[in-house]
Structure 1
Amino acid sequence: MEIISAREKLKSSNLDHPILNALQATETLYTTLAYQPSGHILIQDDFIGNADEKARVRARSFLNLINELDVQPDLVISPEYSIPWQALSELLLSGSRPDAGKLWILGCESLKLGELANIRDNLRDIAVVLDDDTSPVETTTQRYRNPVVYIFETKSLVDESLKLVLLVQYKTCPSGDKDNTEAKGMLPGKFVYVFGDYPQEVRLITLICSDVFEFKKSQIDAYYDGLLLVHIQLNNNPRHPVYKKYRLELFQAAGKTELICLNWAEHINAVINDKVIPWGNIGGSAWYLQSPEVDLKEVSLKSNHEHGIYYTYNAHIHAHSFIFDYKPRAFLFQSTKVHHHALAKPLSTRTGPKAIKTFIWQDQSAKWVEPKAKHDWPNDGFTDRLSVIKSEGVDLDDLQTVYQACPVSAERVLAISAGGFGIRQDWFAPNKIDSMQLSEQEFVHRMTVLQDTAKDVTSFRSARFSSIRAIAELRSEDYTWPSAVSALNQGFNFNWSSTNPNRNVVAKDGTFATVVHLGMISDLVNIKLYDSQIRKALAGPPPEPERLLSANEYKMFEKSHYDNSSPPRYCILYVDSKGTQNYINTDGVSYIKPAGYSPVDISQPSRMTQNDSLGGKTE
């Protein structure tokens, strides 16, 4: 794979490089329309594309949607093999085309060898169709190409007349599967085009699925800064380690880089030899970026969430990751530029993508439309899960209220309830909450987004729902709460507040408290570790010292603060063979005190009630 300048490619045909809105390194925003289709994929020796007319109708309707919007999006992107050439040709022949400054990046159905000549001839009166019909390998069993087509308007270098241009780029590396489908049938290309003159403009490169296998570290190092990388796919396993490698290398450079991965929707069916084969795939589409200015405000995250764009943080590549809802949809985004040039710092902020519209397929009108009914909006699965729990006799309506205010707050309540907080003082920031971290395998552990069904994820969610469910069950029973949280005996609701970030419940009298339920525990040592972590979080950072301290003195000052803190209104519950127990640290609650110190700790209550036993209630 060689990366070559789109400017030079166009110049060889007496065409100028287009001035594209999305690539201007200014403070203006740009819009992107992304297509995430579902359907049946026909896989033959000489063709890969949509298997039925219904899928083709949806693709044609998506192309029509571009012009039905109030303003054409600056970028339009569709995934690998998704757009029928006939539908695209018909659209262009009808007079529809990208407006000035707009760019369409369309993953099209496969082209039989030599077929582009027919398309070029069909469009000869309205468009210039360019490609590079070379390949790094000899033609043997290959019968088709896998294309992405750039469509835009630019000027002729001869007379400055406007020209509609289709620049076709071919996939350079076949995907791997047990049948060697593309290795046998696809003739690979050699060149990948880069748009944009850096640093005055953002750079843009599109890779098709397994092109990333050929994306060398040296090429990443040459192009990463100021780069918008578009990765279109038809991939039944987008989290495969081989496909993730380039993301690590891309973001290791820590430049101004953004990545749009656009796959098909979940549960694609392949049609091979008239046999329908369910893939059982996830969606896997996502928008990644590194920026200290990413908009993590509650209102912004909630708006994105409602439109089916779910925030996570990938600590392994140090990137914010906006995961697309897995269902078939089209998404309209508004975003800041990847890179700014010669711009005053107050104007140069990269806040990331904001979903402003989402579209669903409507059979009745045979169109992509904005949702109107509640059930047409993206369904993250959270409300459905609470409904199941309620049908089993446990009411979590107050958690639903928290979720409706902001799904991230519900993540926090669930984390506190299971003891998954406090390791960092800022644990509740969206990019620090444990359930909002993508795992190294890129599993989505979000509690309020239940679309990822990987075994590791479902186990995590099950444990966390069990914790809050157990607390809610105690609330509905005649359970006598420990004296530290006795206000809860009059009733309480689950709640989260930025002013009390380590509290997950509020009593009827307005008292905040922290209740953690660790489930069935046989080893109290594990609870002690949780207790230490949580008490430190509740104690908060030490106050400002009254005088200048050396490093060692400050360590002692900090230790003294934590040793003598007794966080109020807090309890850890667990279950053993005797039932629900309240954990008491019998060694004293000091969690940083070295061995040899007195076990006596003034923060521990000095007496127990007659009903108390190990793990019982204090007063």
Structure 2
Amino acid sequence: MALPVFISDVEDVLALRGLEMPDLAALQATHQSYRALLLQPSGPIYADPLRIGHLDLAVAAARADAFLAMAAERGDQLVVTPEYFLPVSSLAKAAKGGPFPVDGALWVLGCESMTPERLATFKADCAGHCDVIYEEDPAPAVQGNYFDPVAYCFVTRDAEQTLKRVVLFQFKTAPSRDDHGFENKQLRCGRAIYRFQGKDGYIKLSTIICSDALNLGEDLNANKKLSDRTILIHIQLNPKPKHTDYRRYRNEVFRRSPVATDCDIVCLNWAHNVIQHDSPVHANAWKNESGSAWYIPERRCSVKDDEVASNEANGLYYTWHEKRRHVLHFHYDEAVFALTVPKVMQDGPAVHDVLIGPQLDTRFAWDDGAGAWLACANSPETGWGDVINTSPEVNAAFQSLQDIANRLHIERAISLSCGPYSMRDQWHRVNNLDVCRIPESEVVARATLQLDRDIPASEERNRRITRVATLAHILQTETLPPQIKDLAGGGAAIAWSPDSPNTNVIKAGLRPALVAYLGDNPPMDMVKRIGENAFELLRKENKDHKERVAICYRTVAGVTKFADIKQQTDITYDGSSMASITGGQ
């Protein structure tokens, strides 16, 4: 049985040393958004009994030094690096007069491992420059070799109101799970998880380090304390960030009342495809996803296309969790992400509330030649470009969608082409869109986002893309039913537009249509339901193309069939809805 999670208030820790609680901008319950800067580094990493961190400390230090200098120059108010990344040399340089947070800013820096001796040396070296604080370690020397630290860096005031630099270390409290018990043997565990609180008493901030999540998932009281109007940061070096045990604490948060769990959860891991070295000659490729993401309660994130598309162009992708949370996934490559983030709570007139969620302003990539993080002008590659070029048939099917800036339009066209499973008026809004919805597993199956490596998700993406390609072929080659026969003979294209949100096939000079292909030998009750849903969507839209609906499939013999839609064939139909009141909702 795990020990209870011990939460220590930073205010009490500082008071013992005659220091004030800093007035952190991110924790002020105002309508002024704060700026966040997150570094998602690439490997390779090194792990042996002496240390865990980047394989090449000189390379890591160059990136880290440039990152901290940029954060200080920009004045970002929340700055985060993941578990085991920041070289101690970079932290020491910052603490001893280098780039450091401005008043009101907080840096949350996951650092390479540190032995007790290195901690003591670090504290001694920083004397006269900043106050270094960490909990006492009563464990015997044989208990483990090193700590897994996160360094909170901030400035505050002493009793004489003099500004003081502070580095407050928090240590991981539970070793990660691995096949050989490696970290369990080497790690010296801390006890406390620190909690910052805004001076107005509303918003808190805490950090958990990778496998701290295991205990937090089992400790309901601690989970409640760390999810009540909180920014909860989860830094990781984790090959499986979506593993059931590592996301259990989130599932616990999401299943409770949104009133008591009005928190942002910020998960920051290393980039994908980490290579781990445990000796000069042995390396292991993780073939991992990144899994970095920002989780936001239902009421505090925009689902408008403009905001969502802007984020996605920069590398922050939208999904809707089945437990009614927005989840924004960071692109998996190495990058620095600069965001503008509304406060967790805004204590003022409701008319001023900013409820659009985090906005990704800029993505920076490392430039070796410049030795700096440079702003990226282009959208990052998601694998979609490779997919649509897998065959001439797929390329031709998506010809009208290849240059679309808003890839949500592509997802909508695919959803209609595979058969509308909902007849909601706003089925195409991102939090209603079927492919933007994720289960508790947090697996993303969006066709235009090929980053998630889950095999069933990959198979589902391929199935949907193949259906669209087959539909395009059917439109070109088959005899079409009367309501869409003018689309035959070439020239028809699969597309989506907000001007006609319930149609997916266009042809110059003709009315648009809704045509879906349901694959091979689908159940007839599903064919009937989707046909009714499709007809109902256009009926409610009530435009001059409202009868242009066709649902097709292929039999086991390979024959293309177009389904009879009763509303189109029944002369007694009076124009009212015939769709099931429950089907597809």
- 1:437 is aligned to 437
Residues of 2 paired with 1:235 and 1:131: CA distance? 25
1:541–1:198 Cα change, 3 Å? farther
* CA–CA distance in structure 1, aligned partners of residues 213 and 368 of structure 2: 36
State whether structure 2 residue 255 is matched by structure 1 residue 256.
no
Cα deviation, 1:137-191, whole Å, max 9, x if unaligned, reads 655340111100000010002x110000001111111111111122111111111
Stretch moving more, 491-500 or 356-365 = 491-500
**1:154 correspondence with 2:160:** no
Q: Which amino acid aligns with 1:360?
A: A
Q: Separation in 1 of the partners of 2:469 and 2:194?
A: 54
Q: Which piece of structure 1 moves more, 276-285 or 413-422?
A: 413-422
Tell me what 1:446 maps to.
446
- Bigger radius of gyration among the two: 1
| 1:293 Cα deviation after fit | 4.3
Superposition deviation, residue 290 in structure 1: 0.6
Query: In structure 2, what is the Cα distance between the partners aligned to 1:447 and 1:21?
Result: 39
Aligned to 1:33: 37
**Residue in 2 aligned with 1:568?**
547
* 2:312 aligned residue (305, 314, 320): 305
333, 341, 346: which is aligned to 1:335? Answer: 341
Task: Give the secondary-structure state (helix, strand or coil) at the position aligned to 2:502.
Answer: coil
Q: Within 5 Å, which residues of 2 pair with 1:48-447? A: 48-52=52-56, 53-68=58-73, 71-134=74-137, 139-157=141-159, 159-197=160-198, 200-215=201-216, 216-251=219-254, 252-254=256-258, 255-274=261-280, 275-315=282-322, 317-341=323-347, 343-372=348-377, 374=378, 377-390=379-392, 394-401=396-403, 403-404=404-405, 406-447=406-447
Query: Would you say the 8 A contact 1:487–1:509 is kept in 2?
Result: no
Equivalent-residue separation in structure 1 for 2:11 and 2:96 (angstroms): 26
Opposite residue 521 of structure 2, the aligned amino acid is I
Q: Indicate the SS of the match to 2:211.
A: helix
1:488 is the counterpart of 2:487: yes
Moved more, 228-237 or 273-282: 273-282
Aligned-residue offset at 1:420: 4.1
Q: Secondary structure at the match of 2:231?
A: strand
For 1:562-601, list aligned pairs within 5 A. 568-576=547-555, 579-585=558-564, 588=566
2: CA distance, partners of 1:93 / 1:134: 24
1:552-587 Cα offsets, whole Å, 9 max, x none, are xxxxxxxxxxxxxx951011121235545232338x
How far is 1:522 from its partner?
6.0
- Which whole-Å CA distance do the structure 1 matches of 2:507 and 2:66 have between them? 53
Structure 1 range deviating more: 245-254 or 75-84: 245-254
Contact 1:413–1:494 under 8 Å retained in 2: yes
Deviations 1:223-262 (A, max 9, x none): 4221110000000000110011100112323132110000
Quote how far apart the aligned CAs of 1:603 are.
4.9
Amino acid at match of 1:447: A
Distance in 2 separating the partners of 1:580 and 1:427: 31
Distance in 1, matches of 2:179 and 2:156, equals: 43
* Other-structure match for 1:607: none
Q: Provide the C-alpha distance between the structure 2 equivalents of 1:95 and 1:399, rounded to a whole number of angstroms.
A: 49
Distance 1:523 1:318, change over 3 A: closer
Mapped contact 1:359–1:370 kept (Cα < 8 A): yes
- Report if the CA contact (8 A) 2:26-2:78 is conserved: yes
Cα pair 1:518 1:572 within 8 Å, conserved:
yes
Is the partner of 2:101 in helix, strand or coil? coil
Cα separation, partners in 2 of 1:393 and 1:344, compared to 1, 3 Å: closer
1:345 partner amino acid: A
CA-CA distance at 1:534 after TM superposition: 2.8
Aligned to 1:551: none
Checking the alignment, whether the CA contact within 8 Å between 1:389 and 1:395 is kept in structure 2 is no
Which shows bigger deviation, 357-366 or 503-512?
A: 503-512
- Amino acid of the structure 2 residue aligned with 1:570: V
Report the Cα distance in structure 2 between the residues aligned to 1:603 and 1:574, rounded to whole angstroms: 25
With 39-48 and 147-156 compared, the bigger mean Cα shift is at: 39-48
Preserved contact between residue 198 and residue 226 of structure 1 (Cα < 8 Å): no
Decide whether the 8 Å contact of 1:226 with 1:257 is kept in 2: yes
Q: Distance in 1 between matches of 2:564 and 2:214?
A: 53
The 3-state SS of whatever aligns with 2:474 is helix
- Structure 2 gap segments, 5+ residues each: 575-585
Name the aligned partner's letter for residue 185 of structure 1: Q
Tell me the distance in 1 between the aligned counterparts of 2:75 and 2:7.
29
**2 CA distance for matches of 1:522 and 1:295?**
36
CA distances 1:63-84 after superposition (whole Å, capped 9, x unpaired): 232235xx31111000000000
Unaligned runs of 5+ in 1: 543-565, 591-598, 605-619
Tell me if the contact between 1:494 and 1:504 (Cα under 8 Å) persists in the aligned partners.
yes
Secondary structure at the counterpart of residue 90 of structure 2: helix
- Alpha-carbon distance, 1:352 to partner: 0.8
Q: Secondary structure at the match of 1:82?
A: strand
Is this contact kept in 1: 2:394–2:469, CA < 8 A? Answer: no
The answer as to whether partners of 2:521 and 2:556 remain within 8 angstroms in 1 is no
Aligned in 2, Cα 1:93/1:464: closer, same or farther, shift over 3 Å?
same
Which amino acid counterpart does residue 441 of structure 2 have in structure 1? Q
CA distance, structure 1, for counterparts of residue 75 and residue 393 of structure 2: 46
User: Which range is displaced more, 147-156 or 465-474?
Assistant: 465-474
Q: Is the 8 A contact 1:224 1:253 kept in 2?
A: no
Q: TM-score, normalised by structure 1?
A: 0.86
**C-alpha separation in 1, matches of 2:124 and 2:523:** 76
Conserved in 1, the CA contact under 8 Å of 2:30 and 2:346? yes
Runs of 4+ with deviation above 6 angstroms: none
Q: Deviations over 1:371-415 (max 9, x none)?
A: 24x4xx4112223322334487635220224x32x1111111100
What amino acid sits opposite 1:93 in the alignment?
K
Distance 1:113 1:227, change over 3 A: same
Q: Is the Cα contact below 8 Å between 1:571 and 1:582 reproduced in 2? A: no
Residue 390 of structure 2: SS of its match in structure 1? Answer: helix
Percent identity (aligned)? 29
CA 1:531/1:389 → structure 2, altered by over 3 Å: closer, same or farther? same
Tell me the distance in 1 between the aligned counterparts of 2:12 and 2:94.
28
Between the aligned partners of 2:116 and 2:145, the Cα distance in structure 1 is: 6
Whole-Å Cα distance in 1 between the matches of residues 158 and 270 of structure 2? 36
- Are the aligned partners of 1:143 and 1:186 in contact in 2 as well (CA < 8 Å)? yes
State the Cα distance separating 1:197 from its structure 2 match: 4.0
Q: In structure 2, the residue corresponding to 1:100 is in which secondary structure? A: coil
1:262-298 CA-to-partner distances (Å, cap 9, x unmatched) read 0000011111133110111101000001132421221
How has the CA–CA distance of structure 1 residues 284 and 60 changed in structure 2, closer, same or farther, with 3 Å as cutoff? same
Deviation of 1:478 after TM superposition, in Å, equals 4.3
Alignment of 1:541-560 (within 5 A): none
Does structure 2 conserve the Cα–Cα contact (< 8 Å) formed by 1:40 and 1:55?
no
- Call closer, same or farther: CA 1:361–1:238 in 2, change over 3 Å: same
In 1: Cα distance, 2:401 partner to 2:391 partner: 12
- Secondary structure of the equivalent of 1:288? strand
- Are the equivalent residues in 1 in contact too, given 2:203–2:230 (CA < 8 A)? yes
8 Å CA contact 1:134, 1:190 repeated in 2: no
